[in-house]
Amino acid sequence: MTIPSIRRHAGTVPPPIDALAAAADDEGHGFVRRTIEEWASGDNRFDKTGEVFFIAELDGDIVGMCGVNVDGYVDDPTVGRLRHLYVSPTLRGSGLGERLVMRCLDHAANHFGLVRLRTPGPAADHFYDNLGFERADSNNATHVWRFGTD
């Protein structure tokens, strides 16, 4: 199997994730389409200090995405938020989700002291637990990744 490439997407033009959004819509995940809409409107282009957005491509098709924003739920610019991880159903279990998350964390380590996220349910909880995230006890975060701790 060919390994998907991961690249950063930036600028004012939304990422080319329409096909990915259609697959996500079929599964009831509206956040992928919302990513396109918020990018187009300028509401969220992952362009604040420390923010990043990655897309994964395989054979010319976008097959995954993930980004980091400044966490809007806390008034602290040293806290990031992992957002919008989505992997095409055909590539789940391939390690692509882990690669996208780790790429985001590698970037975030240079800008944030920790990164938080909120999962939608048990399968996602398990995924992030297995990656080494700590459980968080917050209304706005289920997991946290701390940088620079032993």
pLDDT tens across 98-117, in order?
999 999 999 999 999 999 99
3-40 in b/e burial notation, b at 16+ Cβ within 10 A?
A: ebebeebeeeebbebeebbebbeeeebeebbebbebbe
pTM of the predicted model as reported, rounded to 2 decimal places: 0.95
pLDDT tens across 1-50, in order?
689 999 999 999 999 999 999 999 999 999 999 999 999 999 999 999 99
DSSP category for residue 88: -
DSSP category for residue 77: T
pLDDT tens across 49-65, in order?
999 999 999 999 999 99
Query: Given this model, what pLDDT does residue 32 score?
Result: 97
Domain of 17, CATH number, reads 3.40.630.30
pLDDT tens across 86-103, in order?
999 999 999 999 999 999
Report how many domains make up the chain: 1
**Domain span including residue 34:** 5-146
Residue 116, CA distances (Å) to 8, 9, 41, 94 in order = 20, 21, 25, 24
